[in-house]
A and B are shown apart, each in its own frame.
Chain A
């Protein structure tokens, strides 16, 4: 655990002072919620469209079936149904659900109280997957006395890469990294 000196709860005014010299980068801002909601809706629409198209093709093949082409039509229907279904499963799992998890995660980070912690950042290769939630990458933050294990949405790891191995200030919300910033970040 970091000391009380280094871990400071931020008020709106304090946050500006704390990040003097470097602009704080929040991963999610309130205005992002609409964008994430739209992304989820679009993903959902694509998956429904794909499911509808698959079903429509299968029904069409059934309607076109006669004694002469029954075998071929059955195979065509099976392939269409299998491949279409696989794409729907993939889209739903990695499109719709991930978009929903990210939206919920963003809402949580935006609504939660944030604290600032400083230390040397290490981006590990350890990945975690909590059922029904976002994919997580584990970060280590060393302050000279202790090493903290922090979690960050894996899609945001790229933004942290430039500070890997450097001393930074991270903004935390309930154990998750919600942003990065600090007056001497990058030293």
Chain B
């Protein structure tokens, strides 16, 4: 009983400590589990059931040279700010929503991406994306992506990514690995 009274008398300190501790360690873990854009390849996926951690692990098995980590997030991860989303390298987007985003995507011409005979997303005669999955298809990395049935998904590259052919090409290598995944 006395212990409970003691705890009650210090409750404000306990609550303050819990808040401080949460903020501090969340910040530390953000530092630990993240790195500068030049050393990571980030993929944003427009599905809700993506097994992002497992997919990132799988892609990290063959991560390109100079890349420390590969990050995979659902679009909902960027709910508190779109900076990370805009700085991502790859996007797996529904065909129905890709049209509006095309201005931010890099054309595939001259990038040297091995699409493995997959269908391309073409607008005004320019190819911007590679088909990941469509209705009735298993799709690339289907075990991880959580594609919604009846939707087609395409993989696009951020025009501002430092990991295209003009840079180290790491986003292209990760994309090829993703396309080969079952």
Interface residues of A (CB under 8 A from B): 58, 62, 65, 67-68, 70-71, 73-74, 77-78, 81-82, 85-86, 89-90, 93-94
Contacts and interface: CB of A to CB of B under 8 A. Distances in A.
B26 A74 contact: yes
B32 A78 contact: no
A82 B21 contact: yes
Given A65-B33, A67-B60, A71-B53, A78 B10 contact: no
Given A67-B69, A86-B14, A74 B53 contact: no
Most buried by B among A67, A74, A86, A89: A67
Contacts of B26: 74, 78
B10 A67 contact: no
B138 interface: no
Most buried by A among B7, B25, B28: B25
A68 to B, nearest CB: 5
Contacts of B17: 82, 85-86, 89
Most buried by A among B17, B21, B22, B56: B21
Contacts of A65: 29, 32-33
A130 B157 CA distance: 67
Nearest to A129: B9
Interface of B: 6-7, 10, 13-14, 17-18, 21-22, 24-26, 28-29, 32-33, 53, 56-57, 60, 69-70
A90 B25 contact: no
A67 B56 contact: yes
B25 A78 contact: yes
A65 B25 CA distance: 13
Contact of A70 (B7, B18, B33, B60): B33
A71 B10 CA distance: 30
Contacts of A81: 21, 24-25
Given A62-B29, A77-B28, A81-B24, 10 more contacts: A62-B28, A65-B29, A68-B53, A70-B29, A71-B53, A73-B29, A77-B25, A77-B29, A81-B21, A93-B6
Contacts of A85: 17-18, 21
Contacts of A94: 6
Instruction: List 7 A-B pairs, minimum CB-CB distance, nearest first.
Output: A81-B21, A85-B17, A74-B29, A70-B33, A82-B18, A77-B25, A89-B13
Contacts of B33: 65, 67, 70
